[in-house]
């Protein structure tokens, strides 16, 4: 089985960033993208009330 990798410089990608495209999908590893994803996760956690103590003890 032969695999090939092609590296392409793209001025639209921030310095130090990387976008990996495969048959399974695209992974954007640019810092701005990762920070936005972290911000969205934190914002969602702040909107979601914590589970009650009873639910936490049953989850173990």
Per-residue model confidence (pLDDT) at position 55: 64
CB 21 within 8 A of CB 11: no
DSSP class of residue 50 equals P
Higher-scoring residue by pLDDT: 39, 54:
39
pLDDT at 58 over 70: no
Taking the alpha carbons of 31, 32, 33, 38 in that order, is the dihedral positive or negative?
A: positive
3-state secondary structure of 14: coil
What would the pLDDT profile of 2-40 be if each residue is shown by its tens digit?
788 899 999 999 998 999 998 899 999 999 999 999 999
pTM beyond 0.75, yes or no: no
DSSP class of residue 27 equals E
């Amino acid at each position: 089985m032969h695999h090939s990798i092609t590296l392409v410089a793209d001025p639209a990608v921030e310095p130090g960033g990387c976008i990996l495209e495969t048959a399974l999908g695209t992974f954007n590893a640019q810092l701005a993208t990762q920070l936005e994803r972290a911000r969205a996760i934190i914002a969602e956690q702040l909107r979601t009330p914590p589970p009650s103590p009873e639910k936490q003890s049953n989850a173990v």
